[in-house]
Amino acid sequence: MKIYISIVFSLISFVLIAQNNNRPPNIILIMADDLGFECVNSYGGTSYETPNLSSLAESGIQFDNCHSQPICTPSRVKLMTGKSNKKNYKKFGILDPNEKTFSQALRKKGYATMIAGKWQLGKVDSLPQHFGFDEHLLWQLTDTGRDSIGRDKRYVNPVLKQNGQLYEKNEGKYSTDMIVEFINDFMNRKKNQPFLVYYPMILTHCPFDPTPNSKDWNPKDMGSMTYKGNAKYFGDMVSYMDYSIGRIINKIDQLGLRENTIIIFTGDNGTDEPVVSMMDNVSVIGGKGQTTDNGTHVPLIVNWKGRVKPNSKSKSLVDFSDFFPTICDLADIPVNSSIDLDGVSFYPELIGKEGPKRKWIHSWYNRNGGFNPLVSSQEWVRNENYKMYVGNRFYNVKKDPYEKNNISILEMSDSEKKIRKEFIKVLNSFTHLRN
């Protein structure tokens, strides 16, 4: 009898393993808010402790040339739709409901989908569902994120929307803890089917306030009255961000899903401007809102146990439009050519295969969106070393990351003139687009 039971359990285990190997992988996309590459230890950052991100990088792949847009909504729109902002960025805080998102594609494929964290894509309760998310726990979905007297409600004693229901209880809770618990519960409930977790974090955006691990944490605090807060807490917030990511990783391990789960970590734009971070003896000034490297250069770490070669480094260019086709490739979803994507999938590089790679990144940036000749917008094309704006400003951003020295055509080497000519061709190919 014991032998019979043992055989039955072995057969059940074999069937479950076979099913798990045949099903599409789980995808967890985590995007920190206002976190440049210089804040992460594996990129050389020395001001803060990010051990969980370092562990993901050591057992996965780290991309050294990933670039976002300079601020939050443009980055989110580009990432979710796979398109240049020049095509579809209408207004700050808005994602055009007519756009197609990677979450819609995955839900159609049979994925259980959820989003938790910061929304800022339109103040209508039904939009998370519309854009492909079965479940949500979000800050700033239908409100401004502040209470009636102007206190910020994103961190301690937050105001959140969970699947359409308002949470505004003053129970001393911290939003990040609530969100991580929501994510972990979702993964536990959906562990027997492929799932998408999209976690656009609230951390590390200002106000810079104490976290539950800070010495002066106060669970009775009703929220900051100032927008910025005190930048001395930024390090605590980075640490709590990393700790919270570790909680999600631990849950994946507990569920036995690590080998069938892809973890992607990035940031939506550069670090906020009051913050100065160190990379050994080099200081990096936060550049959020700037089109220079410190405003757009963000971390990108991808971890997939057993599939991504550990401790890999990539110099390949990655643009935020690349996430849509990459996620579709990971889920084995053919991309419909009618969507008109600008992204290039970096999936082949994750699994050590040859594939198309970017030669340049094109960016168009206007904080308030739309095309208005009276409103200042900036447009540029870049590769790993050089960058050119509409208006003929040309920089060696590898040597001059703050873009202090415009290289005139008279000063250019032959190779730089060749790059400039290629960049002009790229910029001209986007001139017909008008938002």
Average pLDDT, the chain: 93
Which DSSP helix (H) or strand (E) runs through 117? strand 112-118
Give the pLDDT confidence score for residue 21 in this predicted structure: 58
157: pLDDT strictly greater than 50: yes
15: pLDDT strictly greater than 50: no
Average the pLDDT over 411-417 and give the result: 97
Distance CA 11, CA 431 (A): 61
Distance CA 411, CA 354 (A): 36
Distance CA 427, CA 435 (A): 16
End-to-end CA distance of the chain: 72
Average the pLDDT over 86-115 and give the result: 96
Distance CA 177, CA 377 (A): 38
* 315 neighbors 65 (Cβ within 8 angstroms): yes
374: pLDDT strictly greater than 80: no
- In this structure, is the dihedral angle defined by the CA atoms of residues 28, 71, 107 and 345, taken in order, positive or negative? negative
**Three-state DSSP class for 201?**
coil
Distance CA 320, CA 339 (A): 16
Average the pLDDT over 306-328 and give the result: 97
Distance CA 311, CA 294 (A): 25
Average the pLDDT over 247-255 and give the result: 98
- In this structure, is the dihedral angle defined by the CA atoms of residues 413, 415, 419 and 424, taken in order, positive or negative? positive
What are the residues facing 381 on neighbouring strands?
362, 388
* pLDDT range class, residue 3, cuts 50, 70, 90: low
Task: Please report, for the chain, the start and end positions of each structural domain, with discontinuous segments joined by +.
Answer: 26-353, 365-429
Give the pLDDT confidence score for residue 10 in this predicted structure: 46
Residue 142: alpha-carbon gap to chain centroid: 22
For strands 112-118 and 135-139, give the pairing.
parallel
Instruction: Give the residue, 54 or 273, on which the prediction is more confident.
Output: 54
Residues in the chain: 435
248: pLDDT strictly greater than 50: yes
Average the pLDDT over 345-370 and give the result: 93
Cis amide prior to 326 (ω within 30 degrees) = no
96: pLDDT strictly greater than 60: yes
Distance CA 97, CA 133 (A): 14
Distance CA 333, CA 359 (A): 25
173: pLDDT strictly greater than 50: yes
Among 77, 98, 183, smallest CA distance to 138 is for 183
pLDDT digits (tens, 9 = 90+) for 123-151: 999 999 999 999 999 999 999 999 999 99
* 246 neighbors 238 (Cβ within 8 angstroms): no
185: pLDDT strictly greater than 60: yes
**Three-state DSSP class for 290?**
coil
* pLDDT range class, residue 373, cuts 50, 70, 90: low
Give the pLDDT confidence score for residue 355 in this predicted structure: 87
* pLDDT range class, residue 82, cuts 50, 70, 90: very high
Give the pLDDT confidence score for residue 23 in this predicted structure: 87
Give the pLDDT confidence score for residue 37 in this predicted structure: 98
* 162 neighbors 117 (Cβ within 8 angstroms): no
Average the pLDDT over 299-325 and give the result: 97
Tell me the two tokens of residue 209: 């306030």
Number of H helices and E strands in the chain, helices first, is: 12, 16
Tell me the two tokens of residue 254: 């507990």
* pLDDT range class, residue 335, cuts 50, 70, 90: confident
Distance CA 257, CA 286 (A): 36
Per the CATH hierarchy, to which homologous superfamily does domain 26-353 belong? Answer: Alkaline Phosphatase, subunit A (3.40.720.10)
- Residues above pLDDT 70, as percent of the chain: 94
Q: Cα torsion at 149, 151, 153, 158 (round to 10°)?
A: -80
Place of tokens 């339109």: 122
Which DSSP helix (H) or strand (E) runs through 11? helix 2-22
11: pLDDT strictly greater than 80: no
Helix axes 234-254, 175-189, angle to 10 degrees: 10
Distance CA 388, CA 397 (A): 10
- Residues above pLDDT 90, as percent of the chain: 88
Instruction: Give the residue, 332 or 433, on which the prediction is more confident.
Output: 332
Got the DSSP string for 302-317?
EE-TTTSPTTEEEEEE
227: pLDDT strictly greater than 60: yes
Average the pLDDT over 45-71 and give the result: 98
Distance CA 132, CA 317 (A): 28
Between the CA of residue 112 and those of 48, 107, 134, 393, what are the distances in Å?
A: 35, 6, 7, 46
Q: Which long-range contacts (CB under 8 A, 24 or more apart) does 120-126 make?
A: 120/72, 120/73, 120/76, 120/93, 121/73, 121/76, 121/77, 121/80, 121/93, 121/94, 121/95, 122/93, 122/94, 122/95, 122/97, 123/93, 125/161, 125/164
